[in-house]
A and B are shown apart, each in its own frame.
Chain A
Amino acid sequence: MLQHHGPQLVNLLASVMLLLAFAMLSQRRIISLINLFAAQGFTLFLSTALVAWLTGQDHLYASALLTLALKVIALPWILHRLIRRLNVKWDVETLINIPTTMLIGIVLVILAFNLALPISLLAGTVTKATLGIALACVLLSFLMMITRSKAVPQVIGFLAMENGLFFAATGAVYGMPMVIEFGIALDVLVGMLILGIFFFRIRERFDSLDTRHLERLKEL
């Protein structure tokens, strides 16, 4: 029964991913933003595990567990700790108002589907329909990075982009070889730790994590 409905279920999870990407785009509170990011990671974990079970690709189980450990547990935990330790005011400010951002987001989704069309026609995977959504998630996270003025939401956007890329890899090719996935995960983790240090330096200098303070270097 589940085997039969499997591909539909993957598509359902894909739409949840997209929904969460939009939710993150519209979220104003930082704590909720981190929780949404964790939820997106969890959806990615579920869909990767499901694809692994449907196709019998065993290495995808490992990839799913990696997602669970890193994107659902480790990174949100580090982010929550950072927020508490940094102790700055935490309402997310956007540079463009949220309804406009959502409209731009919709345009990006259409663009992503058009871009993914020729590729998914060639894909032989059961998950090829999700490729467009994965690209849309990447572009929406990119939009989030551009429209947020504080450092932490920008980083969450960056991490969400990584989620979208992993989702694209699962959709198009049943995931990258394991060595590479571990390498990418390691880079993300190290990057997060370095950013942790970096946040403290920014705050120590500016008493705030607003990246609008970081606009002095300009061309004349």
Chain B
Amino acid sequence: MPAELLLLLASPLAGGLVLALMGHRRRAAEVNAAFSTFTFAAAAALVARVVSEGPFEALYRQLFVDPLNVFLVALTAFVGMTTAMFSRPYMRIEREHGRVTDGGMRLYHSMYQMFSFTMLLVLTTNNLGVMWVAMEAATLTTVLLVALYRTHASLEAAWKYFILCGVGIAQALLGTILVYFAAEKILGAGVGALLWTELDTVKGRLEPAVMSIAFVFLLVGYGTKVGMVPLHNWLPDAHAEGPTPVSAVLSGLLLNVALYALIRFKVITDGALERPFASGLMMGFGLLSVAVAALFLSRQRDIKRMFAYSSIEHMGLITFAFGLGGPVASFAGLLHMTMHSLTKSAIFFAVGHATQKAGTQLMADIRGLIRLSPTVGWGLTLGTVAILGLPPFGVFASEFLILTQAIAHAPWAAPILLVSLGISFAAIFGKVQPMVFGEPSVARLRHRPALLPVFAHLLLVLMFGLYMPPYLAGWYRQAALLIG
């Protein structure tokens, strides 16, 4: 097993144990950031290896890395690292305000690392059963994080999150059992019949009737975690009530990881059915998510809830792009996944400081950020402009690609997308503008906000919008070919 891959998985796992033992000592936050940085270094080394040597399998074929998952590994490790850096000062302030107990801080740091571990395991495992187990574990590690503040609303959000995602993930287990049932006929019983690489080679011979039923269960199951309408109810609550760094990783990473699981199954199902059944379902649900989320956006009063709905909208757009398929649309989907992760986590960082300043998450009570703290104000403004898809940011490039592909291959969908994007633009811009430029009403924050991660993310998004290095473009193209 290559050392990079081993370290990638071992680092967050060890981090979780060390931080659980370390408790709430003063340096726990630094140790947390150090482990995440180390994980990112391992991910970078892994990328270098895959780029030079091509895809490979490891650990008796149980793990595998190809351009598609290594791109998400790099993204997950990167946002995991910046969020750990952001959470160091942020959570310290929360601790000083008395919103979190010492035990809560221990839980937070330990579970943060375990959550990274489960996500990286979902991404790198070749075994579809292990993928399920790790995905369920990702839910379990974040349930207590959502309820960290122990308020009425946060307990309710965590309960909803646990029950809805638990039921959803149970459907995904049924789907996985059915896929195993279809594969076992060709590959024989045993772990081999659950390996994605094995399934990929025999996908044309899998029983179509079983695979189509299986995919419906998998779509409902993993779709719940992606936050697809109408299975999205847990998402705004969990994002709004958890601590901000948790909102950032839930929105920026977990949704991507769940969608990744769905993509892997889509490739096999499309291969088995020889007609675009899985793709059609993904396009339909994606479009529904975009439209419904756009309508809900204008009715939000809580800033974190509003950006949670914006996540539903963007995940819908990405699901639609993958459903559309073809090299360009899949390329655009992958690019949008990256752009959304970076931008949305940057927005949550800025929003975290803004709400800490104002002491409320209600948008009506947050005014005049730019005068009180130019960095927070500019961070929020630029993040919002980027997520709304204005040039020159990268989100514009990916959204533009998705729209042109929709016009070319599914013209009926294009008006729905355009109208929804227009509505959400009006809703979000109309609400963020007075928060930033209005008459100040919020108190001055004593602590210096740590906004380096915000601007680092936005700079990357800007770079993707202006200039995409050829090797990156080539890498995305390779990954897109795997999706088909």
Contact = CB atoms under 8 A, between A and B. Distances in A.
Interface of A: 115, 118-119, 122-124, 138, 142, 145, 151, 154, 158, 161-162, 165, 168-169, 172-174, 176-177, 179-180, 183-184, 186-187, 190-191, 194-195, 197-198, 201-202, 204-206, 211, 213-217, 219-220
B299 interface: yes
B408 interface: no
B170 A165 contact: yes
B170 A162 contact: yes
Secondary structure at chain A's binding surface: helix, strand, loop or mixed?
Answer: helix
Contact of B194 (A180, A202, A217): A180
B270 interface: no
A154 B157 contact: no
A124 B181 CA distance: 10
A183 B127 CA distance: 12
Interface stretch (B171-179, B247-255, B257-265, B277-285): B171-179
A219 B237 CA distance: 10
B158 A165 contact: no
Contacts of A194: 140, 143-144
Contacts of B475: none
Contacts of A169: 177
B460 interface: no
Given A145-B163, A180-B194, A119 B181 contact: yes
Given A122-B209, A219-B296, A220-B301, A177 B190 contact: yes
A191 to B, nearest CB: 5
B17 interface: no
Interface residues of B, number: 48
Contacts of B160: 214, 217
A198 B156 contact: no
A145 B151 CA distance: 24
A203 B397 CA distance: 49
Contacts of B189: 173-174, 177
A143 B416 CA distance: 35
B327 to A, nearest CB: 34
A165 B174 CA distance: 6
Interface stretch (B68-76, B129-137, B373-381, B427-435): B129-137
B215 interface: no
B155 interface: yes
Given A177-B190, A194-B143, A214-B155, 13 more contacts: A122-B209, A138-B170, A162-B170, A173-B181, A179-B127, A179-B130, A180-B133, A184-B132, A202-B155, A205-B155, A216-B156, A217-B160, A220-B301
A119 B210 contact: yes
Nearest to B158: A198
Nearest to B135: A187
B153 A217 contact: yes
Contacts of A151: 159
Contacts of A154: 163
Contacts of B174: 138, 165, 168
Contacts of A198: 143-144, 147, 155, 158-159, 162
A53 B43 CA distance: 47
B10 interface: no
Contact of A118 (B136, B209, B237): B209
B191 interface: yes
Nearest to B62: A179
Contact of A187 (B140, B156, B167): B140
8 contacts: A161-B170, A168-B177, A179-B127, A179-B191, A197-B144, A206-B152, A213-B156, A217-B153
Given A217-B237, A219-B299, A177 B210 contact: no
Contacts of B181: 119, 122-123, 172-173
Contacts of B151: 205
Contact of B213 (A115, A145, A190): A115
Nearest to A182: B133
Contacts of B170: 138, 158, 161-162, 165
A19 to B, nearest CB: 22
Nearest to A220: B299
